[in-house]
Amino acid sequence: MKPATTKELQSTKVRLDKWLWAARFYKTRGLSSEEIDKGRVRLNGQLAKPSKDVKIGDTLELRIGHEVRTVVVKALSGVRASAPVAALLFEETAASLAQRAANAEMRRLAPEPAHSQTMGRPTKRNRRDIDGLKEDAPKDDWNDRWSASLDE
């Protein structure tokens, strides 16, 4: 039996940050490593380090933005490839797909938060309305407010 080459060893052991990058969850390895350090990635239900080795059958829980994805590792690769090839590296669980679909539907039905905010600079129309209200308001002279005067 001949000894295993480094290429063969790489196919049996892949770092977590490298696998996440190869599976196209993150754009760069540095970004995937950073997300792992922030605790947004769990390996088999536990927090992991970027250097932790991933094995086939492991369960990963990823929090990307507001979405939480649960995937099962189906294949190992330390090389970033095209999206169709990267999709073969993992399989998302049915519960995760259902939860993401429910969250997407809730976001679709929810009103846009920016429309409900009245903060910020007024538009030209708002400014004209404000100026019109100021003109209609009764004039209040500063000296009329004081009851004490020298003449009384």
Model pLDDT for residues 102-136, shown as the tens digit of each residue: 999 988 888 777 777 667 788 899 888 888 887 77
Residue 8 clears pLDDT 70, i.e. is over it: no
Closest by alpha carbon to 69, among 51, 87, 49, 85? Answer: 87
The SS3 of residue 75 is: coil
pLDDT at residue 83 is higher than 90 = yes
- For residues 89 and 6, the model is more confident at 89
Percent of the chain exceeding pLDDT 90 equals 57
- The pLDDT of residue 3 is 42
Task: Label residues 14-49 b or e (16+ Cβ within 10 Å = b).
Answer: bbbbbbbbbbbbbeebeebbebbeeebbbbeeeebe
R_g (Cα) of the chain, nearest Å? 30
Query: What are the structure tokens assigned to 8, written together?
Result: 């063969």
pLDDT over 50 (residue 48): yes
Domains of the chain: 6-105 (3.10.290.10)
- To the question of pTM greater than 0.75 for the whole model, the response is no
Give the strands of the sheet with 90-92, arranged side by side.
Answer: 46-47, 41-43, 59-64, 67-73, 90-92
Number of residues written out for the chain: 152
pLDDT of residue 71: 96
